[in-house]
Structure 1
Amino acid sequence: MLGTTVTLQEHIRKRAEQDLGIRLRFIVEDGGTVQREGVMHPDRYELYDQWFHSIDCLWPAHALQPIELARIRRWKEVNTLPRTGHIGRVAARGAQDARRSAGCVPAERLYVQADGSLARKPSGRVSMLPLTHNADSFVYLEDAMPASLLAGEESWAWLLAPELAGRVALQADAAIGAIDAALAVEASGLMHFDDIGNLSIEEIDGLIATLIAFKRRGHFAGFWSSFAEAAQLMIANKVAIQSIWSPATVELERAGLKFRLARPREGYRAWFGGIGISRLAHGRVLDAAYEYLNWWLEGWAGATMARQGFYISNPERSRAHMSDAEWAYWYDGARASADLPGPTSKHLVPVGQIRDGGSYVARMSRIAVWDSVMDEHNYLVRRWTEFMQS
């Protein structure tokens, strides 16, 4: 299996091998390398575990084969978010600020059509099995924030606030880091983008020029490629604010830092992860691949994902593998009624804590943009590399 540290974790591998009686080898790389290897070398993996926006690279390259829904036992339990782009009737009733999101909406690249293209129209085959997902933003140390910012509503603009110069970090991956940066630039009033999930060449040039100017003034203290690197930047007191992935907050909790995960007024940047099957997988290996896909929807995997802040596409199945207190905290947005465990530890969330951003519905109904592979992705990567090297 080819993927990233987001889901290719040792305790997951061991549990799956134990439950399924198969051998798994995790090939763990950074996001960009996973995309590149996924496109160019489908012979080196049977399963591809990454994000739905990667489909825009892999599907045109014919690296993956369609997944037959007749072989996915719990497909009917998968909720409406990956199917339609919205949580469904619950979101319509409970989240007044539900909005249409920009970027690579998973639903638009989910179902395989008769001609091999991808679309929202339901069919019996999908490009990837939708699984883990989350709404990301940025994290900040409360005691390091100036009162002038804390007095207002949380905003992506905080990443470019002059008061925090020299104490800001961004994601290093072009496809994700550029969207975080674009959200910050637009929220700061420095530029406006017609479609923040699909920038034009001119908009990319303007964004990169703005970021290079900030970097040359010493605004950025670092860039991270994995959640472990992100956590270390803050634990080492090198940054006070940075874009973040949820597993990094687990490490911040363990380190005892007093931090907040922002609920930006502009909305979250969201991602949806899934697993695809190499076009070269066949026979017994293909059968084992389907068993692994089905295992992800059986409940245990979704529960361990919840304990690092991620959601699963059929959450009710995971409920039996979580305590009432865990479910209330991670999915309902309630105050922790007891000390709660992490994915591999006995204690993570202290009693009395509330998850920043609230419930599953509240968080996933406030998506400003989904992670994307833009039409000008290659150009963006070249210009982003110039920014990183400037």
Structure 2
Amino acid sequence: MEFVILAVVIAALVVAGLISGLVVSGRKKRQLPPAPSSTPTITPAEPHVGEEAEPTREEPRRTIEEAGLPGVEAPAEEAPAVAEPAAPAVPALEIPEPTAGRLVRLRARLARSQSTLGKGLLTLLSRDNLDEDTWEEIEDTLLTADVGVTPTQELVERLRERVRVLGTRTPEGLRTLLREELLTLLGTDFDRAVKTESGVDTPGVVMVVGVNGTGKTTTTGKLARVLVADGRSVVLGAADTFRAAATEQLQTWGERVGARTVRGPEGGDPASVAFEAVKEGIAEGADVVLIDTAGRLHTKTGLMDELGKVKRVVEKHGPLDEILLVLDATTGQNGLVQARVFAEVVDITGIVLTKLDGTAKGGIVIAVQRELGVPVKLVGLGEGPDDLAPFEPEAFVDALIGD
């Protein structure tokens, strides 16, 4: 009996294990399908046949030239031609204004700035009683106009004597009297022509000197116009090598009237440039060589010595025909100090007074001539290219005292 129960139990256990295995195997986890890839897979579509077939599309056919033969490279396209830079335009030559009577034509401009002196003197001389106070006022008027102490004293003494002796009291008589005395002070016997003719078979050589800011380079360019207007051929020497702008400015002045400019490297030796300018002027058969020097303070000994060197080097070709000192008329008596120093270094032969139309101190003409013993030869009366005029004492005095 016990054996039967044991057998039943074992049988039950076996049956239970089989059932459990079946259940577990039946519950095994099913595998999930793989996750879709981020890159879509393109499955080529199967071609359609029969009625579903798509009609054949006609594609444009290429010619042999377009397709190209095998092994033959298509010719490379030619690069577009690069346009060459256009040559700088040559400035048209200008015809300078004739020099004859130029100061007379500019008389009105001069009279506007200088009439104070002349009218003031005439007003004082026309007083009924020419007492000591009046003569002192006349002296003050002349000194204020930068005539200078010594020339002023001489003029006043001569006027006093002539008025006392002649008894001239009419406005016309006083104007004539004053005109004569002013002309005496200015000097009518000076040779005021700019010397541009050499005694030998070489060009006339003119050197232009002066202090910074007086207008040397501009004066040199305007002088070239004066000479060209008189039918002379000119070569310019840009010996102001310290300022590139000065060289360019001088060359521009020359190009306007057809005058060639000889220049050197910036900061180069000014004497070398001046020497070369004269050399080329001789080779070209030019009539005149104008040399523009660097502006320098009269107090700088080294710069003044260099100016003397330029003069000595140029004179190896022959003597300088003219050395013009450019002075600013508005500087007054300070211009006399500058003039003295320049005269000690180089032999000044003539004076150019610039900006004479911009000052009421026209008496500087008298003072500088008396100080240096050399004449004023040219005057600047404006910024125009033809506003440089030969100095004419008669026209100057007429502008001072009016008609």
**What TM-score do you get using the length of structure 2 for normalisation?**
0.24
Higher relative contact order (CA 8 A, sep 6+): 1
The structure that is strand-richer by fraction is: 1
Please identify the structure whose Cα radius of gyration is greater. Answer: 2
Larger proportion of helix: 2
- What is the TM-score of this pair, normalised by structure 1? 0.24
